[in-house]
Structure 1
Amino acid sequence: MLDNFLTLFLILTPLVVGFFVPLPKKYVPYIDVCLGKIVFVILFFIGLSLSQVQNLGSQVGFILSNVLLLAVLSMGAGLLSLWWFDKQYPYERQIQHGDNTANISVTGSAVQLGCVVLGMLVGYAVPLQNLPIGIDSVIKGLLMVLILLVGISLSHAGMTLKQVLINKRGVQMSVIFFVSVSLSGVLFALLKSDVGIMQGLAMVSGYGWYSLSGIVITDAYGVVWGSVALFNDLLREFMAVIFIPFLIKRYPSTAVGLGGVTTMDFTLPIIQSSGGNEIVPLAMSFGFIINIISPVLMVVFSSFG
């Protein structure tokens, strides 16, 4: 448990520090570029780490079956609950934005998956046993840099805490999303005899933050379950890229919720282009809250699992 709370400290410290870094606005775009690049590097090293697992090939079926079940439950719970929210409390649009479903790209998600595969291939081809520093240590170091950059990015996102919390619908969405996805984690645990309730809750709390969930869940439950969490969250991003443009016109809260933590970065341009500028504050509020609670929930749940 002490190790898990140390992980929480190592995650939250750079996040908080990032909020107070006095960075001129002209450099903020470079932070976003660095965020994108470092994610690729982390995924490559995660692939290297996976290549060192004994008999990983025999675990592929186990990983894929659990990823499929976890994705259906966690994404399905979020979609159904926010769809109900949209139906019961429709979002009042000020401007009717035209349908823009043509420009759908899954290249980013494919490249991210490719980084994991490339890392695995390099790991199988090159002996890594005599490296001066362990792969896991490198991954944790890169993760701290990533979290620091996320903190800087959030602090320069143009959203104050007051603006986040005053967006009533964004807060309501976050609560509904958290409760429904958490229930899916409990259901996952009930369906899997080898998974405890707290582990189920930890597994679904990545909300699309694959670079973090892969590391935290690996530390807590081993690399096989870490792989399940990683690919589950990668799949969320992949599905968000595809389905947000189709959902956002009639069910904006549902569409935004599908993106999870990515609504503040990777899927935000898709939300803006297909839903209009009026949806952006909602996405920013929801994404901000989910970005803050995700690492806390993963570490706390895994500490008691």
Structure 2
Amino acid sequence: MKGSLIILSFFAVGAFLGYMGLLPMWIVQGNFAEYALFLLMFLVGIGIGTDPRSLEALRSTNLRIILVPLTTIVGTLLGVAAVSVLIKNISLTDLLAVGSGFGYYSLSSIYITELRGETLGVIALLSNVMREIITLLLTPVFARYFGKLAPIAAGGATSMDTTLPIITQYVGKDYAIVSLFNGTMLTILVPFLVTFILA
């Protein structure tokens, strides 16, 4: 949760500096978001490639473990479609792209900003940060009332890193590989799903 608050603080400071016109023009007019995206994708690849737990999760796949990220994707998109009835000023396509971040706020918000503009990028950032925070706070409730896979699905892409400790604490270490696999697969799929939906 500390990491989410730090990210939000940096976002708030950047928004404030931009709004007040306190940034030099070479920063404002530069295409730094695209370069940051390339760097972020490179670092994600390094993180997945060097993490033995992620590789172990990928090696231990079977049909049942593959169903976890699949149902997370379907459940998230169905949930977004249901909520879209209440949101009239944003198209279903844009809302589905926001939901396709699966909690991976740094990557999805940059992609969405590049493809649809700053407003939807901010919505993606906030909604995906909220997904992570809700998972961190409500994992005990999800595990107790909805089963051991519920916190993993709620965590989405974050189930491989930031929400993994709280998930394993409440559902057991035997579910750590499932959580890692879910997060790894969703992290890999986020850029493809977001760009596919917005295309």
In the TM superposition, 1:32-181 aligns within 5 A as 106-128=1-23, 130-131=25-26, 134-135=29-30, 137-158=31-52, 159-160=55-56, 163=59, 165-166=61-62, 168-181=63-76
Question: Unmatched 5+ residue regions in structure 2?
Answer: none
Say whether the 8 Å CA contact 1:240–1:259 is kept in structure 2.
yes
Say whether the 8 Å CA contact 1:173–1:257 is kept in structure 2.
yes
Identical aligned residues as a percent: 26
Deviation of the 1:239 alpha carbon = 0.8
Say whether the 8 Å CA contact 2:40–2:107 is kept in structure 1.
no
**Residue aligning to 1:248:** 143
**What TM-score do you get using the length of structure 1 for normalisation?**
0.58
Q: Which amino acid aligns with 2:167?
A: I
Q: Which has the higher contact order (CA 8 A, sep 6+)?
A: 1
**Residue aligning to 2:162:** 266
Q: Which amino acid aligns with 2:150?
A: T
Q: Distance in 2 between matches of 1:271 and 1:295?
A: 25
Match 1:185 to one of 76, 80, 101 = 80
Say whether the 8 Å CA contact 2:159–2:183 is kept in structure 1.
yes
Say whether the 8 Å CA contact 1:189–1:199 is kept in structure 2.
no
Say whether the 8 Å CA contact 1:199–1:302 is kept in structure 2.
yes
1:247-292 per-position Cα deviation (integer Å, ceiling 9, x unaligned): 3366210011111101111111222333332111110111122112
1:161–1:111: structure 2 CA closer, same or farther, 3 Å change rule? closer
Match 1:230 to one of 114, 125, 147 = 125
1:213–1:273: structure 2 CA closer, same or farther, 3 Å change rule? same
Match 1:285 to one of 148, 159, 181 = 181
**Residue aligning to 1:220:** 115
State how many pairs are aligned.
196
**What TM-score do you get using the length of structure 2 for normalisation?**
0.85
Question: Unmatched 5+ residue regions in structure 1?
Answer: 1-105
Alignment RMSD, CA only? Answer: 2.3
Say whether the 8 Å CA contact 2:113–2:121 is kept in structure 1.
yes
